[in-house]
Amino acid sequence: MLGAAAALALGPAWCAALAQAPHPFPTRPISIWLPWPAGGATDLTFRILAEGVSRRLNQKVLVENRGGGGGTLAMPVIQQAQPDGYTLAQMPQTALRAPWTRKVLWDPIRDTTPIIQISGVTFGIVVTAASPFKTLDDLFAHAKAHPNSLSIATNGAGTTPHVVMDELFAKRNLSFIHVPYKGTAEQMIAVSSGQVMVGVNSNGFAPFVDSGRLRLLVTFGEHRTRRWPTVPTLKELGYGIVATSPYGLAGPAGMPNDVVQTLHQAFRAAMLEPAFAAELARYDQDLAYLPPEEYARALKASYEHERVVVERLGLAGKAD
């Protein structure tokens, strides 16, 4: 360190440069925007993750909720934010699908800087414990016998549950009444109370299934889950569908690499904490870690895959 006399000898320019020297990132709180309401599985797991990151960065990490829009309402936030690392957002699969199904003013690839892939979700179809529906075929039989009477709740138009149910029913020339909800918690309450007949969502149904309030008919993963090993998958039942919807974290386009790496390292370390692993386990989730470069490639591949799926199912313009 230079002494005061040496600094004075170097003149005003040195003192000004010293005063303007950048402080290490971060110097103020960071916000993570979730496109889901508070209280759901994604919200709860991100809050625990944020606590771990906060300890590593010595700054508050705030979780902000902007539910609705089928899980896409965080995208305009990061599109319009400064690329300084203080505004981040969860990247759900719906953000990669929405531009192919309806007109949006943002692009999930062009407008983002991928930081880290975190996990994926277990999707499933649930009914109330007292429901007469015991299998997926029971749903199809009801829809055939009573057209336009089967009410099915999802977490929004154009989401993975909605797309999967559309495909299953359309292939059989059947229809259902779609009831979109902003988030998992309110949807599961609606199903368990009988307001709707069927619910299709991600891991947030776990506490309701484990407590006996809801019955899980089928899951969407590659294999049966460890948590509910007696519940079959769509794939093994012959429907040829596997959907896990990996998700991660991104910031605005143009973020400096050193900021990206600082965030990536902090989130990766927090992901490995026992508290976060335990919270994921509550919803039968596993880590699905990818670093920034690999996550960027995965997002681009998934974005193109969603285009193909939307075109194959004729879903363009159906999400509005």
Here the CATH number for the domain that contains residue 78 is 3.40.190.150
% of the chain residues with pLDDT over 90: 69
Q: Are residues 69 and 100 in the same domain?
A: yes
Domain assignment of residue 281, yes or no: yes
d(CA 95, CA 219): 22
Same domain, 74 and 91: yes
At 82 the pLDDT is 98
Asked if residue 163 belongs to a domain, the reply is yes
| 107 and 37 co-located in one domain | yes
Q: Are residues 43 and 111 in the same domain?
A: yes
Residues 191 and 199 sit within 8 Å (Cβ to Cβ): yes
**Residue 46 belongs to domain spanning:** 30-121+245-313
Question: Does the residue 261 lie in any domain?
Answer: yes
Mean pLDDT of 22-47: 92
pLDDT the model gives residue 285 = 86
Digit-coded pLDDT (tens) for 263-300: 999 999 999 999 999 999 888 888 999 999 999 999 99
Q: pLDDT of 156-197, one tens digit each?
A: 888 889 889 988 999 999 999 999 987 788 899 999 999 999
**Is residue 263 a part of any domain in this protein?**
yes
Q: Based on the domain organization, do 112 and 251 belong to the same domain? A: yes
CATH number of the domain to which 136 belongs: 3.40.190.10
Residue after which a domain boundary falls, among 219, 235, 265: 219
pLDDT band of residue 3 (cuts 50, 70, 90) is very low
pLDDT for residue 17 is more than 70: no
Number of compact structural domains in the chain: 2
* Residue 67 domain-assigned (yes or no): yes
38-59 pLDDT tens trace: 988 899 999 999 999 999 999 9
- The answer to whether residues 115 and 261 belong to one domain is yes
Q: Is residue 229 part of a domain?
A: no
Pair (278, 290) in one structural domain: yes
Q: Are residues 40 and 116 in the same domain?
A: yes
Please count the CA atoms within 13 angstroms of the CA of 1 that sit on its side-chain side: 2
Q: Who contacts 286 (Cβ-Cβ below 8 Å, separation ≥6)?
A: 119, 120, 280
CB atoms within 10 A of CB 92: 28
Helices (H) and strands (E) in the chain, counts: 12, 11
Examine the fold and report which residue of 219, 234, 259 is the final residue of a domain before the chain moves on: 219
16, part of any domain: no
Q: Is residue 24 part of a domain?
A: no
pTM of the model: 0.78
Is residue 36 pLDDT above 70, yes or no? yes
Print burial letters for 12-48: b (CB count within 10 Å at least 16), e (below 16). eeeeeeeeeeeeebbeeebbbbbbbbeebbbbbbbbb
Q: In what order do the strands lie in the sheet with 177-180?
A: 177-180, 151-154, 198-201, 124-128, 214-219
Q: Select from 149, 184, 219 the last residue of a domain.
A: 219
Q: What is the CA radius of gyration of the chain?
A: 23
> How many Å apart are CA 306 and CA 108, to the nearest integer?
12
Whether 55 and 90 map to the same domain: the answer is yes
pLDDT 10s digits, 203-228: 789 889 999 999 999 999 888 998 89
| Separation of alpha carbons 12 and 164, rounded Å | 66
Mean pLDDT across the chain: 90
Check whether 258 has a pLDDT greater than 90.
yes
Do 129 and 149 fall into the same domain?
yes
Q: Are 79 and 98 members of one domain? A: yes
Check whether residue 59 and residue 133 sit in a common domain.
Answer: no
